Structure 1
Amino acid sequence: MLSCWKDGDFMGWIEGLNASMEYIEKHLDDDIDVVEAARLATCSEGQFRRMFSYVAGVGLTEYIRRRRLSCAALALSRGERVIDVAIRCGYASSTAFTRAFREAFGVSPSDARRPGTTLCVFPQLTFSLAVVGSEPLSWRIVTHDEMRLIGIAFPCDAAMDAPLIQMADEGREELRHFWGSASQAGDIERLFSLADDGGPRRIFGVNSVRRGDLTYHIAVSSSEEAPAWTDEIRVSRGSWAVFECVGPCEVATAEHYHRIYAEWLPASGYELAHDVSLEVYPSGDFSSTGYRSEIWIPVVERNEV
């Protein structure tokens, strides 16, 4: 089943994202209300953080940090005092500000005040219509009853914008270590022993945003009582957009997430239903170029205005 491309939907989605960017830009010197930024993009905070990270290629918190430091660099180049700029950027001390500034630009704030110092500024993001999608993106819509999953958790650092975890090299390395450690400890086999029979052997990667907490689970579908070393995850009944990924799972998953949020979602006629997405991994060689996995994104039809 394919949806028609609706230019109005796409442009409305872009306009919402750009309104959010304008709001953030106007409040770089203040406390930024991410809930308000998300409202302008007509989605929840968790959805906004996730969509932003996959479309922009950088987490929202990191983007805001970079923009504040870029504004700081411009202020310093005009001769403003380091301590004044540090306070305006929200740093409790000039030491913390200097450390962050040096990490971002490779020079100290004092150096930035000197004429002739080269600085690399991170510009404000804007979103626009682009011609993409030369490669086909296979998808289907399915309706699934409530799912009860049992799994082990990898709490993600909210400050690093966890929805980006599969996209960045550092995040993929952390997930690789998490899966490897779970396998070596026997946790994955123990999870499989709890899985309900009646289908092919498969395991889930579960991304969830609940009450601001960002978590990744390795889980199985199970009706067994959840042991103390596991979490129970309830996923509500609803419609899902299902995308097949072919290739080594950590690379294929990241590439598909980007295309789902950057290409498919704005033009599909659907919007996110809630803040849980699933990665479905059948038994097999995760590193094989022919390995087939799936990404499940919860969706509802977008309301026409």
Structure 2
Amino acid sequence: MEWIQRLNDAMSYVEENLTGEISLEGAARRAACSAYHFQRMFPYMTGISFSEYVRRRRMTAAAMDLAEGAKVIDTATRYGYDSPTAFNRAFQSVHRLPPSAAQARGAALRAFPPITFTLSIKGENAMEYRIEEQASFRVVGFAMRETMTLEDCFKKVPGFWGQTAGELPRLAALMDGSGPMGILGVSACDGGAFSGYYIAAATQAPAPEDMAEYHVPAGTWAVFPCRGPMPQAMQDLQRRIISEWLPSSGYEYAEAPDIEVYSADNCHNEVWLPIVRKK
């Protein structure tokens, strides 16, 4: 229940600052986790990104102000938009009509209420897992180093795998058992921030000139087998882990990389979630 309360504290932070500054870091502090992990957890729990939620809440409040007679330019400024054009675009993305139309009596507007997290009783479908204590290891492979939201990952990572498909035999040849066995998808986390996505293999061999290396720190992971067509099965499992397993597990997200492990036969794939015992 403490985890649920912390998420609701983050939602209170949004409501308290609809006309002020709202940052991912500020919400994460209220949720008592890193910005990186809050950004990853929020869409799994709600179905939308944090930035989209903030926009919907602000445009819901803005519509109410306009309907009560507020001027468009004043409302844009009130909700943090220096440019009327940007405000118009954001407003139309939510309400499907321009801000000026919201001032008319009978305008058809849309309202997105504040999100409240509650404990949902599930469990009809079992989730298999094991806890792994893993020593630090090094991975070598191909890196995509750019700032990405979870939605960006869903769109860009499958394409990155497609671009790298021809190199997978080279990666397989590097595997030496120094870490998880398989081709790895590593969402690197350094200092609580996303630092890149690697398609790689655990190895102690020197990195070829066209590859990058990354050191995964020692830690504890919850490991979940993944079955079904990729990448949808992997994404669906990750949603269940965050929304169903983690809240009641006695663990919380650790400051370490998320890892996907893909076997040669594609029948023994796994999700490795970094965890630490709740204090």
Q: What is the TM-score with the length of structure 1 in the denominator?
A: 0.83
CA offset digits 1:142-179 (Å, max 9, x no partner): 11110211222234544xxx23446xxxx24x322221
Q: CA deviation at 1:51?
A: 1.7
Q: Distance in 2 between matches of 1:149 and 1:302?
A: 28
Unaligned segments of structure 1, at least 5 residues:
1-10, 286-290
Q: 1:47–1:275: 8 Å Cα contact kept in structure 2? A: no
The amino acid across from 1:136 in the alignment is A
Quote the residue 2:150 is aligned against. 163
2:48 maps to which of 58, 66, 80: 58
Q: CA separation in 1, counterparts of 2:223 and 2:275?
A: 10
2:126 to 107, 111, 136: 136
Identify which range, 252-261 or 186-195, moves more after superposition: 186-195
The equivalent of 2:170 in structure 1 is 190
> Are 2:28 and 1:38 equivalent residues in the alignment?
yes
CA distance in 1, matches of 2:214, 2:246: 25
One of 92, 114, 132 as aligned partner of 1:124: 114
Q: Which secondary structure does the structure 2 equivalent of 1:239 belong to?
A: strand
Preserved CA contact (<8 Å) 1:247 1:292: no
Match of 1:4 in 2: none
Q: Deviations over 1:123-142 (max 9, x none)?
A: 21110111112100101101
- After superposition, the C-alpha distances for 1:26-83 in whole angstroms (9 at most, x for unaligned) are 0121112433422322222222222222112222122112222222222222221111
Using structure 2 for the length normalisation, give the TM-score.
0.90
Shift of 1:216: 2.2
Q: Percent identity?
A: 39
Task: Please report how far the alpha carbon of residue 231 of structure 1 lies from its aligned counterpart in structure 2 after TM superposition.
Answer: 2.5
Residue aligning to 1:253: 234
CA spacing shift, 1:209–1:98, aligned 2, 3 Å: farther
Unaligned runs of 5+ in 2: none
**Cα distance, 1:296 vs structure 2:** 0.3
Task: Tell me if 1:70 matches 2:60.
Answer: yes
1:79 alignment partner AA: G
Return closer, same or farther for 1:278/1:125 CA change in 2, 3 Å cut-off: same
2:136 aligns with 146
Higher relative contact order (CA 8 A, sep 6+): 1
SS in 1 for 2:86: helix
* Counterpart-to-counterpart distance in 1, 2:91 and 2:72: 11
Name 1:296's counterpart in structure 2. Answer: 272
- Of residues 165, 168, 188, the one that matches 1:208 is 188
Report if the CA contact (8 A) 1:249-1:293 is conserved: no
Counterpart residue number, 2:4: 14
